[in-house]
Each structure stands twice: as C-alpha cells, then as structure tokens.
Structure 1
C-alpha cells in the first residue's frame, strides 16, 4: 500500500486591507491539490492583529481561527499577507510573534506588502527578497541592507517572499511541485486554466511595449532608462544618444507616440515615485526629493502643486 503523502499546515496572517486576490491565489491551489489527490495534503489557518474579523481591500471579511501570539500552534509555513500601506503598520505583538515563529524554525513568508513586516522584525537581514513593485521604492529607502529583487517570488531556505497578485499562484504551484512532484503542480495549474507555471525570477511588470503601448525600439530604450534612473535623472542628451536621434527628434517621438513631451513623461515618473514614497514611508520631503531627482524639497513641492493644479483645471474641450 503506498505511503500517505505528508500533510503540511500553512498559516496566513492577514493585515487589514490585505489584497484578496493575492490571498486567494495562495490558498486556492492548496484546496485544489487536496481535491485532486483526494486526501488532505494541506490544511491552513488564519490570524489577524486584534483578533476580530479582518477586511480585505475590497471589504470582504475573514474571521481568524488562531490568535496572534499563540505559541503552541502547528505550522510548517506562515505567510504575512499585506497591502495598502504596510510601512505604516506597526504591531509589537505581531513582531514578537513572528520572531518566535522564526526561532521555532517555521518557514516564514511575505506576500505583496507582507515582506515589510518580516523586515521590521529583522527576519530578512542578509536575505534576498521581493515584494510588489509599488512597495519597492519605499522598502529600499527604509531597508537598504536588504537585497530586493524585482521578481515574482523568492524562495531562500526558510524565507519566502512573493510580489503578490497572480504571482502567488505561481509561488504555490512551485511549492506544490517541491512538496508532491511536478504532476500534481501541473494538475493544479490546469485546474485554474494556468497553462504555464512561471519561475520566480520572471519579471513582475508587463513588458514596456504592452504597458505603454509603443513598439519603437528607440523609445523603448529611452523609457527603460528613464524608469531605471529616477534618483539621478539622465540628461536629455544622454537619452537622445540612447535613441540615436537628436534631442528635437526624441521629443517629437514622445509627443507623437506617447502624447506628452520627453520632459513631461520623465517628470511624471518621478512625481509618481514621490507620491508612493510619501504614502508608504516616513521619509522627510527633503529625503523624498533626493530619492526622486529633485534639487530640494521646495522644488519637489512646487512640481507637485503644479500637477495638482493642472489636474483640477477644467478641460478646454467643447461639446456639441
């Protein structure tokens, strides 16, 4: 008679405003694996700071069945699932519990913004991690000693981090493959109409050609360089050299293909980064200005004010 497959217990610590898609993409593959193999390969529990029902970002609530701080619970892996502004969430009881779980040798993971909580507890020091691209700039400013990789997920010994969204499905399929073999992982992927199990190092973001809707290789080189150099913006001449055109020709390419000037697009990227840093970090305006390529806090504030005024200005278009 064949041996009964090992059963694993997985915990989910859900923070208020957690991303429901990320959570569902992590828990549903385990349910499917149980169903497909006809036995309990996985069981899971939920915990939340405060102990009451915890709401996802879309308002759906989940009732925890484990208390934060429980030192006797069973778990092989525990994931912190967070969204919104994880940098602003500080719960000493949760931090202490995560450290306790780590001392017990339990594998700890963070999904979407969850790595913030592991980093706050000192559990990612000397490790490589990933998290949702929206949280990366503030995370890197706050934890410069932690290596951040812009990948779908990272599995490094007893730490697992995931960028969230559908990447959580790819993560769980990889874990199911490690636990029970490629056949079951493929079956679970097929169950969810997921015809390709992506590797962890796959990029998080959509290809620039699709995300911005351009195919011109000259523009693509420049756009990629802009996104990679927000703290120390590249000069217009450097960008034109990348495109192998004149500054005037490059500006015309931007206006014709993207609808704004070269300067306007670059400025918008830097202001978007500044907005995320304001929302997700406690950095001063001066520090945010430095991190986004502005000469001073005053220059950043003026640029933000002009953007707000422009957004509020009535359209010049007329109807009939």
Structure 2
C-alpha cells in the first residue's frame, strides 16, 4: 500500500493509505471527507470545551443580551430547566453572553474534557510524525466518543439549536464564519503531486508509479488557486543548522580580525618546521620528566 502525506498550505494534515490503482475521483472524495471530518471534530471539541465551562447555548434571540434586557423583553429560555447537567450545575457566567452560565460539576467537566483530548489525539497532526494513518472510521469513532460523553453529562440532551447538537446531526450552519473558509468541498478540491495537478479520470499510478511501497507528498487545495507553493529545498531543521554553522564561522573570523590576523600562527599548519620534523620522524617525540 502506498502512503500519501497530505498537506494543506505549509502544514502536514494526515497520512492516508491506499493502492496505486485508485481512481483520482475516489481519492479526492476520500481525502476531502477525512480533511473536512477532522475540521468537524475540532469544531465539536471547541464547543464542548465551552459547554463544560459555561453550560448550554442560549436561544438566538437571547444571546448577547444583559439580564436587564432579557427581563425587559420578557424572554425565557425554555430549555434552561430541561437540559440540566448530571449532578447539578455551577454558576459560571459567560461574558460573551452566548451560553447560560450553568456549567457541569468538576466530575462531569473532567469527562467532557478528557473525551475531547482523546478525540483530538485520534486525528492529531502528530500522527504524521508517528507514521500513523487517519481513516474515516477514526473520524466517526471520535465523533461517537464525543457524542457519548455529552449524553453522559446531559442525559436530557442539548437544545436543538445548540451548535454541538447541530454538528451531531450534520446540520451545522457555517455560512459567514471562518470555519466555512477552511472547509474544502469535494467538487472544489484539487490534488497536487510534484508540482502537477492530479486530474479526474486518471489513476494514482499515472502520477506516482506502480510501486506500492512508497510514501509521497500530496497537497490538497481549492480549485482556482493555482499551483501550491513548492517545498523548500532545505528543511527548517537543516536551515537552522546552516545558520548556526555560518554564525560560528562569522565569530571565528571576527576573532581573527580582533587578533590582528595572527591567531593562525598557533595552528599546526602554520608551523614552517612541521614538514622537516615529519621527515625526520620527530613529530611524536615525548619528553619524560627527570
């Protein structure tokens, strides 16, 4: 099986394993689903962290209003006394006015936060360094774990308009948000290998060959953006080493200049009698003290 290291921009995203006979159309679909699935998991994790800190989301018409304004407008959150966390709640005001400020107890918070971390680890970019692939099953498993944790802490469920609930139902509304810019739709996606676009209707082997025991770098991006930037000739680590080397050389030259260029006289190669002693076999003579 050939392994594809998927990059978006300058960042490694995940490893994907397949065979060289796979059609580019199918490959695009799979990679786009995994890429967008990882974004979805991160969105859910962010919202669950806010849920653990400030409770459920307020109705749209109550978000951002002060208590005085809510009272004056006679607004009521009908889910406030229904969607109560297990073991009760703690009052933690949300300064953004987006959530109701009834956060779960510490024990329930721990369940949510631990599950969030486990889900992130399952799809982490660090898996690239560990040479581990990410699959659609991993994405689905992470989402199911998050869903289970929310059900444990909120057995009565979440309000139907809560972003977490909408994500679980695949009814999330991303239009006009930064998250919508990150999502790459399958019909808008393009794959690039070695500076060339991988066109639909062809197979992976048309670009990377038929050797199944290879690992290649493939970039995903939106169509119309032109060719992605080429990889740097040297890696970031190699660049650091080169800069350190030239810095040391610069310091050595500076030291020579400070010593009026006479420091080299202490070097073995500057000894005019070195060759003579070498022919006479006198280089390694050691004198014993009396």
TM-score by length of 2: 0.30
TM-score by length of 1: 0.28
Higher Rg of the two aligned structures:
2
